[in-house]
Amino acid sequence: MAHIFMTGGTGFIGTHTLEEISKENHTVSVLVRSSSRWEQICKGLGWSDSADTIKSRIRPVIGDLGMPGLGLSHSDREKVLTADVIIHAGGPMDIRISEAEARVVFLQAAEEMLRLAADIQLRGGLKHFIHVVGFKSPWTDENRHNPAPVIAHLEEGPPYELMKCLADLRIREGAQELGFPLSIVHPSVVIGSSRHGETPQTGGLGILVRATARGLMSIVPGGSTHWLPLVHVDHVASFINLLTKEASPPPTQTYYLLDDPKVGHSMQELVSMIAKELRVRKPHGSISPKWLSKLLDTSLGQKLGIPKESLEFIVKMNTPFPIAPKESLLHKHKLPNKVQDEMLPFTMADLDFQLVHGHMPTEGFVRGKRGPLASLERSGTGRRTTEVSSIKSDTELRLAQKPPVKQKNTLLFVHGTLSGADCLLPLAAQFPEHDVCLVDLPGFGRSPYHHAADVMEGHIAALVEAIRAFDSPVTLVGHSLGGLLAAHAYARVPERIHRLHLLQPALQPAARMYRSARLNHLALRRLREKDLRKQLLAQRCFVDISDIPTSYVTYVLQELQSPRVRKTTAETLSALARAEGFPPQQQAELLRKASILWGTQDRALAWAEELRSARTMEIEAAHHFPISHPELTAQLLRKQGL
């Protein structure tokens, strides 16, 4: 097995690559700026104290790409000099950085990496240098011997691309001078995992998502003649991991990680898809990227807020890229390499979420996907499982297992309106002994909208599909709207639900004031913090202002900045106001099986005596008691039986 020295291990591509490499038996030294940052990465990857076997093989070395000698101490440098494989994936994903900063983190860092490679060569030989650099780097075996014309053209563009490309050239030259095998990996615009779509790096496709959300994409740059090449981050990570295992890599090989344009989406198609997912008007025209670039240089263009540099990633669909080496290697090892069209709505919804909320801490919970719903999940052991346990090949724990214990049913939490999976995390955290899953309903949080003709039917069908994605029956816990949907889901798949808990379920129609989706949308668009707090108290969502978590108010206001969530909320409230009750026989069966928690201080939602379950428990709190009183809610749920 190899000893790998890796830069960029804390970045978007890097963390996924580390996760892939951890499956092998390699020793890895990872360049990080601080021990605390490394601990964050380990926690995010689930490498807790119980993962000693991984942490003993994969260790940090403290340093910085922008410092002489990479900022390594003498002892750490000695460790690194025993490496036989280098993965250089470091550098910021920030197309707006200055030339001086770009020179340090790309070109100067390349020189430092070559000095390190030279020293490793002297000590026994570098077996493989893997350099990860963007797909717009223009170098080939032909033009790198006469670089001046190419450099002159690059100098017309942003310094970010210029310095990245100069770093690529320098490492190619260094590999030839020093005689080590070099693989250049050119990922296209990197998007979220092909398993669930999470995309914390918002500088690529996120620029288009943000512009579309703001109504700035009615005219599409490039139209049907250009495209934005995309690649899933886990596909990049798998490819890099594959290269580390190549016994005899070619002297120099370039791999372009992008699809064939014939199976990709044109800019017109891509922006139309984004508009559909964000629930805004579709584009109705196109503009040449060159003309748009000139427009963005004007005072009017600067007000649009679209970085001119972002146009660099849009290419003509007839631009040739030599993808044969990539295709050949992936075919040889039978690895996936295509963008999954069915995952694009999840990627777009996730980017929309990231852009309005920023980084949302989900301590102990990881991103997943259950059927058509995005999820936050945590295993009952308190340790991380794979990202998407609904996919058979990803269900095995990557950490050492404790002796088997009796499997508890997964607790599946479903939120209400003006809420999301994140809002119920404090409640879900009260059950460390259980596997826990929280889903975002369609069009809320990180989940794409269902686009069904009937709003409520779409929500119910999506929840049912999510429930079916579990291997065994779940304990279903629904709050408010989530309670109503949980009740409907139970009526359709009772065999997939072990226990049904309804928290302040909206089993009766909402107030008539919400019947107009149009007026709801207008009110939500104008909603401000002061008004939101007043309404929450007036409608007895909370008893007292002190009961309202600041984080909840922040979440709701940020969530409503998304046109996707705003429209979905408006239509869902309208549908709730028009909802019909259950047929008598179905309602009787439901109330016989369900456990209900009811907040007695809720004055907005009427509670008819005939809706009382045999296992109804009252709590002296308002409608949002699962959010304001998570500990008490958890205690009562345990009393009712999970």
Count of beta carbons in the 10 Å neighbourhood of residue 461: 20
Please state the domain extents for the chain: 3-187, 366-389+406-640
Residue with tokens 């939602």: 605
> Six-digit token pair at 216?
């700035």
Q: How far apart are CA 287 and CA 90, in angstroms?
A: 34
DSSP string, 452-476: -SSHHHHHHHHHHHHHHTSSS-EEE
> Six-digit token pair at 207?
């620029």
Residue with tokens 């601080």: 34
Domain 3-187, CATH number (from 3.30.70.260, 3.40.50.720, 3.40.50.1000, 3.40.120.10): 3.40.50.720
Give residue 399's pLDDT: 38
Nearest to 30 by CA among 84, 112, 93, 87: 87
The DSSP letter of residue 494 is G
Give residue 555's pLDDT: 98
Contact indicator for 474, 409 with CB cutoff of 8 Å: yes
Domain 366-389+406-640, CATH number (from 3.30.1280.10, 3.40.1380.10, 3.40.640.10, 3.40.50.1820): 3.40.50.1820
> Six-digit token pair at 379?
């295993």
Q: How far apart are CA 528 and CA 615, in angstroms?
A: 39
**Over the chain (642 residues), what is each successive 10-residue block's mean pLDDT?**
94 95 93 91 76 82 94 96 96 85 94 96 92 92 89 89 94 95 96 95 91 91 94 96 90 94 92 98 90 80 68 89 93 87 97 95 90 94 42 36 62 98 97 96 99 98 98 97 97 97 93 95 96 94 95 98 98 95 88 93 75 86 97 97 90
Domain 3-187 shares a fold with domain 366-389+406-640: yes
Cβ neighbours of residue 509 under 8 Å, at least 6 residues apart? Answer: 576, 577, 578, 579, 580, 581
Secondary element (H or E) of residue 276: helix 267-278
